[in-house]
Chain A
Amino acid sequence: MTRYRYSVYGIGVASDTPLALPAYTNYCLGDVECVTAPAAASLAELHGAGPDAQARGWYHHASLADGSTYVRWDEIGEFVVAADGRRITFRQLNASSLESFQVYMLGQALSFALVKQCFEPLHATAVVVDGQAVAFLGSNGFGKSSLAACFLEAGHEMLTDDLLFLWPSPEGVLAYPGPPRIKLFRGVARRFLGQAGHRGGMNEDTDKLIVPIGGDRWCSRPVTLKAIYTLAPPRDACRRIDVSVESLSAREVFVELVKGTFNRRLVSRQRLERQFGFVGALTELVPMRKLIYPRVIDRLPEVRTILLADLDRVAGFATAAPAR
């Protein structure tokens, strides 16, 4: 029985256990039910996914015969996401903390549900500047969260960390709030957020902490998206001493958005076709620029200043031709 109701990423979440999520609101575009797996049986065995699951390190993934998807992160948890994306059956594995488990369930596992419900989440972190969302797009380790933490230090609100849910509206493209927490390296958390608040570790393989964001620093409502900055890979920026914001052609924007999709595991024909249309439309609707900067923590306030100045010019940097 799902007794708890929440909203995250524009999705209504019903769960049979309490989750670290905001209360349910009425602006949900889809629904997911999170249900604890029956005791004393592994989900892999129940669904016949064990031996055939594709393993990459500690991550396992399998498409099941009924259209559902099995995913597991060793030591964290295992999940079965229903074919229609409306139910996630989960099991927390003993070694994981509740915070870490929920990060995986409400990020990685939930992304399968979102895609199965025909949504296209992006791998991005977003903050709120002057009432509008500004997103940082990039793969793991590109510095999205660190840059966002630097904006939090300056008094800007956090909107979402790691997974960005966008949806078009008459007012513009809306960016939806994620869970009120951010994953940060210890040094970055100390530098920009101080020592306040409970922090839990992600997993044994990373020094990242899960830092809760208080209500005064977190935006709980969807806001229009002002711009996306795609972060240059750290290896391309390591020799840079300057910070630069570069224009992209519409084709480059398209490619960056495709690369920035959150879930690359689901590659059915229908998903790719939908993604192609979504990304094409987004290319025409949202300004995007490329941000190149040295990955030095003390330089982040300078990056922030340059971005804020760039945002003042954002109305003039359309990246694409008008919609056809």
Chain B
Amino acid sequence: MSVSLSDRVKAAPDVLFRLVGDEGVLLNLRTQRYLGLNPIGARVWTILEPGATIQAAYDALLQDYEVDPSKLRLDLDLFIGQLVEHELVEDAEHAPDREPR
């Protein structure tokens, strides 16, 4: 999946997140599936969860890690693709407003 840096995604409804140490665990209550996040994944999630742009996550990771920008872009695409595949995020631009969980 290719996403634009200006896109915003946010946590899908019925998704729970918990930071455990510097890693994370997601649970989609609807699909009843868990997904574990490594420290980088957990960092990206905490940035994106409230509806920030993917650019914000990209900028933060570029600042935090010594990483090739093009590689980071690809990895971010891949990660967000996985989140979409597991129905853990939705398009923040078109999602109805909800109270955060």
Contacts and interface: CB of A to CB of B under 8 A. Distances in A.
A272 B20 contact: no
Nearest to B19: A324
Given A258-B34, A273-B16, A250 B27 contact: no
Given A251-B38, A321-B22, 20 more contacts: A249-B23, A250-B20, A250-B21, A251-B23, A251-B25, A251-B36, A255-B36, A258-B34, A267-B32, A269-B14, A269-B29, A272-B27, A272-B29, A272-B32, A273-B16, A276-B16, A280-B18, A283-B20, A284-B20, A321-B20
A258 B32 CA distance: 12
Q: How large is the interface on A (under 10, 10 to 19, 20 to 34, 35 or more residues)?
A: 10 to 19
A251 B21 contact: yes
Contact of B20 (A267, A269, A273, A320): A320
Contacts of B29: 269, 272-273
A253 interface: yes
Contacts of A6: none
A171 to B, nearest CB: 23
A272 B25 CA distance: 13
B49 to A, nearest CB: 15
A251 B24 contact: yes
Interface in B23-42: 23-25, 27, 29, 32, 34, 36-38
Contacts of A255: 25, 34, 36
Most B CB atoms within 10 A — which of A252, A272, A321? Answer: A272
B89 to A, nearest CB: 18
Contacts of B14: 269
Interface in A226-269: 249-255, 258, 267, 269
Contacts of B18: 254, 276, 280
Contacts of A269: 14, 29
A75 to B, nearest CB: 31
9 contacts: A249-B23, A251-B25, A255-B25, A255-B34, A272-B29, A273-B29, A276-B16, A320-B21, A324-B19
Interface in A284-305: 284
Contacts of B36: 251-252, 254-255
B32 to A, nearest CB: 6
B41 to A, nearest CB: 10
Nearest to B24: A251
Closest 8 CB pairs of A and B: A250-B21, A250-B20, A251-B23, A280-B18, A321-B21, A251-B36, A254-B25, A269-B29
A284 B18 CA distance: 11
Nearest to A322: B21
A280 B23 contact: no
A258 B14 CA distance: 18
A244 to B, nearest CB: 22
A253 B32 CA distance: 19
A280 B25 contact: yes
A273 B13 CA distance: 13
Nearest to A319: B21
